Amino acid sequence: MSDSKVAAPTLNTSQPSQEKSLSQRLWAELRGYAEALIVAFLIVTFVFNTVGVVGGSMRPNLDGGPGSQNIFQSLLQGDRVFIPKFDTWLRRAGILGPYSRGDVVVVREPANSPTAQTRERRPFFIKRVIGIPGDHIRIEAGQVYVNDYPINQSFITSSGEINPDPLDYPVVTQSAGKLTGMVIEFLVTQENTAYPELPTHGFYPPAVDISQPDLQLFYGETLASLEPIPADAPENTPFILDLIVPKDHYFVMGDNRQNSKGGSEDSRYFGAIKGLTIGGKASAVIWPPMRHGQWNWRRLTPPDTFKDIPDPQ
């Protein structure tokens, strides 16, 4: 029977490591935070982001909680949407092409929006793309037409919560083939700034001269983008004239088009928006998981009616 052998223990002759200095420990801690922040920045910039819906401009399809009166509660209770940022960069690079009609997008508030006149910062809006570059847009009694096609608005009205106001847009006047005015009414806010109000179908206030400063502020680019005045246009009498969405611009609207229920401030009030101001396309609702006893997780796809819009002639 052979003897079992046991290896002799080895002695650790190395010197004990010196304790790190305070500055070294501090640098290691800060580097960890910095690396985490850099990773988070890269993810939010190039991979994905989430945005909380605040307010009622996209009702009934997106719930924004109690609104701007309580931002904290709105962020807790409102829908949160998923935005793939790589989609945004690929579109800006021209690889994916333009946004599609019916897409839900987040967009930087334009400098000429009515609410931008009363505050310094310009947050992001969430709206739906109605018209893409080259599209002809008009609204008659609340019915939106894109390239003469009446959009089926049941995706707004079917729940019974929202009934679009019977507004007309854009209503203008002309004389001898030249644009002379736009039918619009300007209200005054508590901050003493002008706020445009679209005319109700069949009830037109006097037209505002096209040189009026408030009209130029909110609708200068819109007036410059109208289609040519037809030869049979009435003289000095209001009529609706199509807006042609300019190149690299989009006409956006909120789904809530009923002013008594916090209706949307959108391209009807500040014109088509530049494509570069779009921060991304909302592809899905990811929070809260349940609402009113039903699953709230869902994809945000364009309503079928947008597929039937013809190309502009």
- The residue behind tokens 């894109």 is 146
Residue 79's nearest CA partner among 214, 276, 255 is 255
Q: Which of 237, 238, 252 is nearest to 108 (CA)?
A: 252
Rg (CA), the chain: 28
For residue 42, give the 3-state DSSP assignment.
helix
What is the pLDDT, as a whole number, of residue 15?
47
Structure confidence at residue 151 (pLDDT): 98
Predicted confidence at residue 8, as pLDDT, reads: 44
Q: Across-strand partners of 287?
A: 80
Domain 26-308 bears CATH identifier 1.10.40.60: no
Most distant pair of Cα atoms in the chain: their distance: 122
How confident is the model at residue 102, as a pLDDT?
98
- Angstrom distance (rounded) from CA 102 to CA 151: 11
Buried b (16+ CB within 10 A) or exposed e, 216-245: ebbbebbbebbeebeeebeeeebbbbbbbb
pLDDT given at position 18: 52
**pLDDT averaged per 10 residues, the chain (length 313):** 43 51 68 54 58 91 77 73 89 88 96 91 92 98 98 97 98 97 94 94 96 97 97 97 97 97 96 95 92 91 97 90
CA distances from 196 to 53, 63, 114, 220, 257 (A): 24, 26, 8, 13, 15
Give, in order, the Cα–Cα distances in Å from 294 to each of 107, 255, 288, 301. 29, 21, 11, 19
pLDDT score recorded for residue 36:
53
Kindly list the domain boundaries of the chain, sorted by start residue.
Answer: 26-308
pLDDT at 88: 85
Distance CA 131, CA 113 (A): 18
* The residue type at 217: L
pTM for the predicted model, two decimal places: 0.84
> At 156, is the secondary structure helix, strand, or coil?
helix
CA-CA-CA-CA torsion sign (44, 45, 46, 52): positive
DSSP string, 61-127: TS--TT-GGGHHHHHHHS-EEEEEHHHHHHHHTTSS-SPPTT-EEEEEPPTTSTGGGG-S---EEEE
Give a three-class secondary structure readout of 226-283: ECCCCCCCCCCCCEECCEECCCCEEEEECCCCCHHHCCCCCHHHHCCEEHHHEEEECC
Candidates 200, 224, 198, 196; CA nearest to 210 is: 224
